[in-house]
Amino acid sequence: MEENESQIESKESSGEGPDCKIEAFVCTYCTYTAADMAGSQRLQYPTTVRVVKYLCTGKVEVVHILKAFEAGADAVFVGG
C-alpha cells in the first residue's frame, strides 16, 4: 500500500480539457500489459495520465482513490 501511495504526486490543473489530470490504477497482467504493448507500437496517450501499477486492481482500496484526488487528480481510472 505504501509503495503505491508514494507514486501519487500532487498536480495542479483546471479540471477539464487537455489539462485534466487522470490517475490510472492498472493491473500488472491485464491493463498494464495492454498499455505496454501500445507503447511498443509507438502509440501514445496524453501526458496528463499517470499510471500506477498494482499486482491486482482488486487490491485498490478506497483510500488510494481518495489520496489520488487529494493529490490533485481530476479523475481516477481503475482497470483490471
Rounded to the nearest 5°, which phi and psi values hold at 32?
-65, -40
Confidence band of 23 (pLDDT split at 50, 70, 90): very high
Burial of 8 (0-12, 13-18, 19+ CB in 10 A): buried
pTM above 0.95, yes or no: no
Q: Which residues share a beta bridge with 76?
A: 23
Confidence band of 12 (pLDDT split at 50, 70, 90): very low
The count of other CB atoms within 10 Å of the CB of residue 61 is 10
Cβ within 8 Å of residue 47, ≥6 positions away: none
Sheet holding 22-27, edge to edge: 49-54, 22-27, 75-79
